[in-house]
Each structure stands twice: as C-alpha cells, then as structure tokens.
Amino acid sequence: MKIIIIYFSLTGNTKKVAEKIYKILKTKGIEVSSFRLPSGEKKSFLRQCFEALVGKTYHIEKTPQIENYNVVFIGSPVWAGKITPIVNSFLKECNLSNKNVFLFTTYGSGFAKSNAMKKFEEIVKEKGGNLIGKIEIQGKKVEQSEDKIKEELEKCLKEL
C-alpha cells in the first residue's frame, strides 16, 4: 500500500498533523510521501476569508501526482467555515476515482468547522473518492492529539 499526504498549512498547525500522520504510517512500515501545497502571495485575513467563502480556486504550478497511490490523505485549515482556496484548487484539478481518501482539518475557535468538513467530504465524493476516514483537530491542541490521530488511522487502515 502506498500513501500520499497532501496538505496546506499557513501557520503550521495542519503541517504538524500531517507530520504526525506521516510518522504513524511510517512506523507501521507503510510507504508514505508528503506534499505541502504552496501558500502563494501574502493576503490579508479578510481577503483570505473572502476567497475561502466564495470558493476561489487557482491554477497550481506543481501538483502532486497521485496516480501511483492507493490512499490519499488531504488536509486543510478551516477558513471562514470553508476549506482553503488552495486545497479547493487541488481538488478541482485532481481525479480521485478509485482512491481511498482520508480528510483532516485544523481549526481555531471551531466556528463552522463541521460545515467545512461537510463540504470537504462532498467535493471528495463528487470527484469519485471513497472516504475512509476524517479527523478535525483544534490548532492549539495538535500536540495532545497524537492518540486521537493514531486511533482514527488504525480504524481506517484495518478496513483497507
């Protein structure tokens, strides 16, 4: 089984979750790669919220190749109750048919986090992906979340 973890992280929380997932999978002897989607130009908080709200997408110069992977982990911070524009952009361009997909988000206050995950799941299904698991973690609690992440991974790996 080959797994790729694709994520965006502006301030590092989602990156830490991606790293934890990477480490857990590696220790299980699974072949795993990781790809951080680019941040692009700096924008104001309001602009970022606006772009997330309207579902803005960009062309990504260098997209991760997922053809050779059986399982794709996709991670995004929650912005204005949505997933981030860059993750949206990746999803728009990729083909998830026949892929097992695990989603993860990190959030701050928790405002509309379920809304973001719901939309995330809908897009994955529209793109033909088979959702095998998901996890939502508060940014400031990433360090204490290792057991929760492990538990969720074990649940979904058992079924593969």
Ligand X SMILES: Cc1cc2nc3c(=O)[nH]c(=O)nc-3n(C[C@H](O)[C@H](O)[C@H](O)COP(=O)(O)O)c2cc1C
Chain residues that interact with ligand X, rule: CB under 6 A: 9-15, 45, 48-49, 77-81, 106-113, 139
Least distance from C-beta 95 to ligand X, angstroms?
Answer: 25
> In angstroms, what is the minimal distance from the CB of 101 to ligand X?
19
The C-alpha torsion from 46 through 94 and 19 to 102, rounded to 10°, is 100
Nearer to ligand X among residue 99 and residue 113 (C-beta): 113
What's the min distance (Å) between Cβ of 13 and ligand X?
3
Q: Are strands 2-7 and 71-79 parallel, antiparallel or unpaired?
A: parallel
> Which residues are registered as beta bridge partners of 133?
102
Rounded least distance, CB 83 to ligand X, Å: 10
The H or E element spanning position 132 is: strand 130-138
Three state DSSP letters for 26-46 = HHCCCEEEEEECCCCCCCCHH
Query: With respect to ligand X, which residue has the nearer C-beta, 114 or 130?
Result: 114
Strand partners, 106: 77, 137
Q: Give 37 or 157: the residue with its C-beta nearer to ligand X.
A: 37
Closest to ligand X by CB, 9 or 88 = 9
